[in-house]
Structure 1
């Protein structure tokens, strides 16, 4: 008979990594928590007395759970791909949050999650587990029902997609702040030319407004949208969004939208807006 408390203690030692795996696999914080809970249920009902590497075992179980969730999502045809905005991980700009750091590490940006969402579920699993968590291909192969060689090829295809998707993003937070602040200042001042200058010519904006979502491509179209927002009289507060900086838009001190950006070579290449009140609440922005 299992000692439930001892089981729970052992599981908690690995919860942070399991949530990190699930977030990369699913791009949703709520679904990541669901996947971790399902992993716990499978773990609590299994005989793990012969398992030597519990962390590795749990990681593969979580991977299998996430793979099933991705396949179910695809079957339901959820999330219009053109306007897909992953769940941002938000924190104060100058505050180090250990739980946040464990979740995203130093390299999980929204741009990466957008690219991962374009992969086939098995490709995403092979790439995430192997390239991000060093799970051997021999352990991944049974999950995707392929040989180790075929699983290696899945990860290789995914890796090429990720590497070819976009220029390497800016990592220096100070430089990111400078670029984002220049964009916000130009927007507040109604300076169309300055807006265009800080945007990459092929910049992409993805916005989730709840009942409406939109995708805009090109610096001039995005700048035109930003010019219209200036009429709303919004205040902005810089925050951390995943591995970069972003901004909360406020009306009378209340957050109404969250902006995340990807910056490369001194210009904004991608913008992500969440303006759905329910989603902002789930993200902890409105609490």
Structure 2
């Protein structure tokens, strides 16, 4: 089923690319000009690049039916369409996630190094924050993303989510309060995150148990996503000693050569793990006070299709 879905999606994407190459009308130009923005909006709402691409296709199909003369702001109108399509898909994804085997993590994206220098973009794309967004309702998530990440006005958001501006303000306040209570206490610099991950990498490669304990916070949490396809913990692993046992036990079971490389995923430093040269997973981290407080390990092969080529993202 997954193969058929990828084939169909690739066919739709190919048709869209051919259409963009073939047609140079204003509607197409406007869509292409805002494509990266629309993808970023959809991805931050969904946490899935595959579903975000489907939203782009659905947005395009609706956009070409719009009377351009009635559109005053193309960017706002396109974001409105993409938001509505994302909300529809969020409700569908909820059923999929309920049947998902083990913890669900966002699909990691390889991003350009300069994304990490854009503090607002990097924070909004981080695994830690996107997991917090999973605890919001679909409408709360849409309002929070549009307001906090993209600085879109309340009137525009109201049109996108079919609420009054007053209601949107209340939703935004509630969502912000919810997120602020769960997000990292402070924004950690790229250099600090990179240094902590490098220490973790060295300890991992040398099987240095003390080194692992030194870089992990006492209450560290590991969330691993295998999707029922790859082996992963079915529940979060909590506590430094338990995490070290979990990691070292997994390494002992491997009948393969492990190599660990550095990458930039979702705008933050990350580790790319390979077994016998084949990608096994991506590991992102949440760092606070010089130690790792959260590790997010994505092993599900369906979610690893965008870790070897860069995805273009933008908040504008």
Both structures adopt the same fold (TM-score exceeding 0.5): yes
Cα offsets for 1:130-166 (capped at 9, x unmatched): 2222222222224433322121111111111221113
Identify if the C-alpha distance between structure 1 residues 265 and 82 changes in structure 2 by more than 3 Å, giving closer, same or farther: farther
Cα offsets for 1:196-232 (capped at 9, x unmatched): 2211222221112231543212222111112224433
Question: Where does residue 224 of structure 1 map in the other structure?
Answer: 245
Contact 2:113 2:264 in 1 (8 A): no
Q: How far does residue 181 in structure 1 lie from its aligned partner after superposition?
A: 1.8
Q: How far does residue 76 in structure 1 lie from its aligned partner after superposition?
A: 4.9
- Establish whether residue 8 from structure 1 lines up as the match of residue 19 from structure 2: no
Unpaired segments ≥5 residues, structure 2: 1-21, 310-316
* TM-score normalised over the length of structure 2: 0.79
CA distance, structure 1, for counterparts of residue 52 and residue 74 of structure 2: 20
RMSD: 2.7
- Establish whether residue 42 from structure 1 lines up as the match of residue 62 from structure 2: yes
Moved more, 170-179 or 234-243: 170-179
* TM-score normalised over the length of structure 1: 0.87
Question: Where does residue 129 of structure 1 map in the other structure?
Answer: 146
Identify if the C-alpha distance between structure 1 residues 33 and 253 changes in structure 2 by more than 3 Å, giving closer, same or farther: same
CA distance, structure 2, for counterparts of residue 44 and residue 213 of structure 1: 43
CA distance, structure 2, for counterparts of residue 207 and residue 185 of structure 1: 20
- Establish whether residue 85 from structure 1 lines up as the match of residue 105 from structure 2: yes
- Establish whether residue 30 from structure 1 lines up as the match of residue 50 from structure 2: yes
Question: Where does residue 185 of structure 1 map in the other structure?
Answer: 202
CA distance, structure 2, for counterparts of residue 40 and residue 111 of structure 1: 31
Question: Where does residue 122 of structure 2 map in the other structure?
Answer: 106
Name the SS for the 1:238 alignment partner: strand
Name the SS for the 1:45 alignment partner: coil
CA distance, structure 1, for counterparts of residue 266 and residue 31 of structure 2: 25
Contact 2:100 2:227 in 1 (8 A): no
CA distance, structure 2, for counterparts of residue 76 and residue 254 of structure 1: 28
Contact 1:170 1:265 in 2 (8 A): no
Contact 1:86 1:113 in 2 (8 A): yes
CA distance, structure 1, for counterparts of residue 183 and residue 148 of structure 2: 18
Number of corresponding residues: 279
CA distance, structure 1, for counterparts of residue 23 and residue 65 of structure 2: 10
Q: How far does residue 277 in structure 1 lie from its aligned partner after superposition?
A: 3.0
Q: How far does residue 278 in structure 1 lie from its aligned partner after superposition?
A: 3.7
Structure with the larger RCO, 1 or 2 (CA within 8 Å, 6+ apart): 2
